[in-house]
């Protein structure tokens, strides 16, 4: 049984989608949802699925408390799904190539600190980009800079608002993220 641990800060539509995807299969266990945000909707979603969660503050993330909590759960893969804080170096090194993130744009465009969620889509809209997409990548100590695992683009020329772009990108995330996670878990991990 492979073990996935999530880090998420917000709504958790990706977490929920991935939980559903693996429910039908018996090879993967979701061992926890960790969040920096006590108000995050993702925590309710975890509770509804009887998945353990942990809420932590910045000090706990950086002083080893969170690392200890991760170690206890023995994850094969740590999945950042809308997690907005930077992973500390200590965790990144200990889980080298075992932490992945999804970003709602075609990195290296529209990445970096402060680029998340609707802000990304607003920038894409304002720049009149013909296409945007998703990037799934390994996490290193810099925002949105780890090695790419997968990208998929979508045409957004017909989108009249940033929200319309967000909907198209979210559909891509929901289609591809579970499959890529499954591929990683069944390959070299
Ligand atoms: C997702 O679109 C994800 O790509 C994005 O946050 C959203 C979370 O949605 N992540 C970033 O912007 C990271 N820089 P969700 O909570 O509904 O899964």
| pLDDT, tens digit, 9 for 90 and up, residues 65-118 | 999 999 999 999 999 999 999 999 999 999 999 999 999 999 999 999 889 999
Cα separation, 187 vs 74, whole angstroms: 18
- Asked whether 16 lines ligand 1 (CB < 6 A), one says no
Q: Is the pLDDT of residue 189 over 60?
A: no
Minimum-distance ligand 1 atom for the alpha carbon of 119: 12
Decide if domain 2-186 falls under CATH 3.30.1360.20.
Answer: no
Kindly state the percentage of the chain with pLDDT values over 90.
93
Distance 81 CA to ligand 1 centre (A): 6
Q: Mind telling me the catalytic residues?
A: 103
- Asked whether 7 lines ligand 1 (CB < 6 A), one says no
**Looking at residue 25, what is its pLDDT?**
87
């Amino acid at each position: 049984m492979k073990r996935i641990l999530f880090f998420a800060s917000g709504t958790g539509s990706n977490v929920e989608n991935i939980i559903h995807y693996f429910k039908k299969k018996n090879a993967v266990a979701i061992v926890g949802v960790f969040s920096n945000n006590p108000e995050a909707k993702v925590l309710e979603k975890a509770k509804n699925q009887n998945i353990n969660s942990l809420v932590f503050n910045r000090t706990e993330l950086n002083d080893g408390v969170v690392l200890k909590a991760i170690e206890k759960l023995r994850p094969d893969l740590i999945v950042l799904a809308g997690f907005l804080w930077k992973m500390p170096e200590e965790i990144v090194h200990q889980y080298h190539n075992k932490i992945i993130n999804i970003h709602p744009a075609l990195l290296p465009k529209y990445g970096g600190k402060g680029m998340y969620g609707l802000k990304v889509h607003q920038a894409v809209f304002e720049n009149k980009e013909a296409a945007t997409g998703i990037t799934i990548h390994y996490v290193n100590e810099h925002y949105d800079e780890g090695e790419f695992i997968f990208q998929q683009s979508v045409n957004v020329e017909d989108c009249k608002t940033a929200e319309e772009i967000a909907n198209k990108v979210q559909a891509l995330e929901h289609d591809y993220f579970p499959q890529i996670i499954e591929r990683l878990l069944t390959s070299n991990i």
